[in-house]
């Protein structure tokens, strides 16, 4: 069945793919002139620097066949982080809607953009993305309500007590989740709250309130939309390791307090030279699922250092396929989101010097071996 549809559109694709436009260089989507807090670069990022060329090394064209349809046969959501600005590129927009069943706003719902000034919300860009998703029968993953990065400076300047912080968190979360009530299926309520030394991350939120900001944020989100599934999202927590152990303990503690926590998001920003063990990823997903939590892969990309070679792209393809396999085989996990549509719209080259080629499509929207491997995993079961 799946195979039949795969072959039937091959001929169409070969014609279609020959005239792809070149993707423009990615840039941060908006500059509203909002001053950010000093620690506003993602922890998982390394130095900023020049980006390597996103070379295309595939020998033959690989057809785009609609991952969303293949994944749906397994009740798997297959999504992408999408930048509002890039939707003006028709090829990009067309791929988003034909390949992906869920959409995560890459930046547009972050505090910096959605709440740039005290008491003032900028919902236009988020609204546009939600509208795009709705008109293409895509679900939306809201990202992200409480995060120490991409947080405007006014927050730390105006908030100095626990009371003021919790009041602001409640206002922020209630306003946004309430605005999107019924339109956003899942929220990354809090992002990256565990630090790499395995304690709670030392942020303004934690300094002023301990873990109270978490219960406050989750409760406010649940009150604003009782149907939305609420997640804690973090990176380097895909396998069993000290950081994921800490996240696991935190989840248990929140659940014991009756906090409406429904799932964990495993970001999965991976380095091809430092991949986690897939059996450990599987066990990790299973232990969170055993707590009654959903486990979503929320920001998958697999970066490589330097120019991609056919061999490196092949290894990358295997890694993508292996993760899809684990997700399909594991109870409690039914959602994978890649952090960007194509290598021309990936955060990796901008944030991690000399790394790139992390996504399923290259910088000219051509499917890579990784794409074909995912299709294979979704077709041959
Ligand atoms: C990244 C975006 O992709 C970039 O455009 C932006 O400049 C910085 O943030 N973890 C997250 C995401 O949770 O929100 C980050 O997104 C990548 C790391």
Token readout for 332 is: 């409690």
Give the residue whose CA is nearest to atom 4 of ligand 1: 347
- For the segment 333-344, the average pLDDT, to the nearest whole number, is 98
- The pLDDT tens digits for 232-267 are 999 999 999 999 999 999 999 999 999 999 999 999
- Among 34-38, 181-185, 361-365, whose mean pLDDT is lowest? 34-38
Q: Which residue numbers are catalytic?
A: 192, 299
Give the residue whose CA is nearest to atom 18 of ligand 1: 42
Q: What is the Rg, in whole angstroms, of the alpha carbon atoms belonging to the chain?
A: 20
Token readout for 28 is: 């941060």
- Among 172-176, 222-226, 332-336, whose mean pLDDT is lowest? 332-336
- Cα(130) to centroid(ligand 1), Å: 19
Q: Is the CB of 66 under 6 A from ligand 1?
A: no
Q: Is the CB of 299 under 6 A from ligand 1?
A: yes
pLDDT of res. 336: 98
Residue predicted with more confidence, 19 or 368: 368
- For the segment 182-197, the average pLDDT, to the nearest whole number, is 96
pLDDT of res. 128: 98
| Backbone angles phi and psi of 298, in degrees to 5 | -105, -20
Q: Is the CB of 188 under 6 A from ligand 1?
A: no
Closest atom of ligand 1 relative to the 269 alpha carbon: 18
pLDDT of res. 346: 98
Q: Is the confidence at residue 48, as pLDDT, over 50?
A: no
b vs e for 311-338, b when ≥16 Cβ sit within 10 Å of the residue's Cβ?
A: ebbebbbebbbbbbbbbbebebbbbbbb
- Is residue 251 within 8 Å of 288, Cβ to Cβ? yes
- Is residue 145 within 8 Å of 188, Cβ to Cβ? yes
C-alpha distances out from residue 19 to 54, 340, 364, Å: 18, 21, 10
Give the residue whose CA is nearest to atom 16 of ligand 1: 106
Q: Is the confidence at residue 14, as pLDDT, over 50?
A: no
Q: Is the CB of 371 under 6 A from ligand 1?
A: no
Residue 88 neighbours by CB distance under 10 Å? 9
pLDDT of res. 196: 86
- The pLDDT tens digits for 114-133 are 999 999 999 999 999 999 99
Q: Is the CB of 28 under 6 A from ligand 1?
A: yes
Q: Is the CB of 106 under 6 A from ligand 1?
A: yes
Q: Is the CB of 298 under 6 A from ligand 1?
A: no
User: DSSP 3-state helix, strand, coil percentages of the chain (rounded to 5)?
Assistant: 45, 15, 40
Three-state DSSP state, 50: coil
- The pLDDT tens digits for 301-315 are 999 999 999 999 999
- Cα(363) to centroid(ligand 1), Å: 19
Q: How confident is the model at residue 54 (pLDDT cuts 50, 70, 90)?
A: very low
User: Residue 154: exposed, middle, or buried by beta-carbon count in 10 A (0-12, 13-18, 19+)?
Assistant: middle
- For the segment 186-214, the average pLDDT, to the nearest whole number, is 96
Give the residue whose CA is nearest to atom 7 of ligand 1: 28
- Cα(110) to centroid(ligand 1), Å: 9
pLDDT of res. 59: 55
Q: Is the confidence at residue 365, as pLDDT, over 90?
A: yes
- Cα(18) to centroid(ligand 1), Å: 31
The pLDDT mean for the chain works out to: 88
Q: Is the CB of 112 under 6 A from ligand 1?
A: no
- Cα(107) to centroid(ligand 1), Å: 7
Token readout for 303 is: 């970066």
């Amino acid at each position: 069945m799946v195979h039949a549809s795969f072959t039937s559109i091959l001929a169409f694709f070969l014609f279609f793919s020959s005239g792809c436009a070149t993707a423009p260089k990615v840039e941060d989507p908006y500059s509203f002139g909002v001053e950010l807090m000093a620690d506003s670069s993602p922890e998982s990022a390394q130095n900023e620097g020049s980006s390597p060329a996103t070379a295309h090394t595939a020998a033959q064209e690989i057809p785009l066949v609609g991952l969303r349809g293949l994944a749906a046969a397994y009740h798997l959501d297959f999504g992408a982080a999408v930048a509002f600005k890039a939707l003006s590129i028709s090829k990009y927009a067309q791929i988003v809607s034909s390949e992906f069943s869920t959409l995560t706003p890459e930046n547009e719902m972050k505090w910096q953009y959605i709440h740039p000034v005290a008491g003032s919300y900028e919902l236009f860009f988020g609204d546009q993305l939600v509208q795009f998703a709705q008109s293409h029968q895509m679900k939306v993953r809201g990202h992200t309500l409480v995060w120490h990065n991409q947080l405007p400076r006014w927050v730390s300047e105006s908030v100095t007590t626990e009371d003021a912080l919790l009041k602001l968190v409640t206002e922020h979360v209630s306003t946004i989740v309430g605005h999107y009530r019924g339109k956003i299926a899942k929220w990354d309520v809090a992002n990256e709250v565990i630090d790499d030394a395995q304690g709670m991350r030392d942020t303004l939120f934690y300094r002023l309130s301990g873990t109270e900001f978490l219960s406050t944020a989750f409760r406010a989100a649940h009150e604003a939309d009782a149907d939305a599934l609420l997640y804690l999202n973090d990176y380097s927590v895909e396998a069993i390791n000290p950081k994921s152990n800490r996240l696991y303990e935190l989840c248990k503690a929140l659940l014991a307090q009756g906090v409406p926590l429904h799932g964990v998001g495993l970001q999965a920003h991976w380095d091809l030279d430092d991949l986690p063990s897939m059996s450990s990823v599987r066990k990790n997903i299973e232990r969170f699922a055993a707590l009654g939590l959903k486990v979503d892969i929320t920001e998958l990309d697999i970066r490589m250092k330097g120019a991609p070679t056919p061999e490196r792209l092949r290894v990358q393809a295997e890694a993508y396929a292996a993760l899809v396999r684990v997700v399909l085989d594991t109870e409690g996990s039914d959602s994978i989101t890649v952090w960007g549509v194509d290598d021309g719209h990936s955060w990796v080259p901008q944030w991690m010097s000399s790394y790139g080629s992390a996504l399923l499509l290259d910088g000219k929207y051509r499917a890579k071996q990784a794409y074909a491997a995912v299709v294979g995993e979704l077709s041959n079961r």
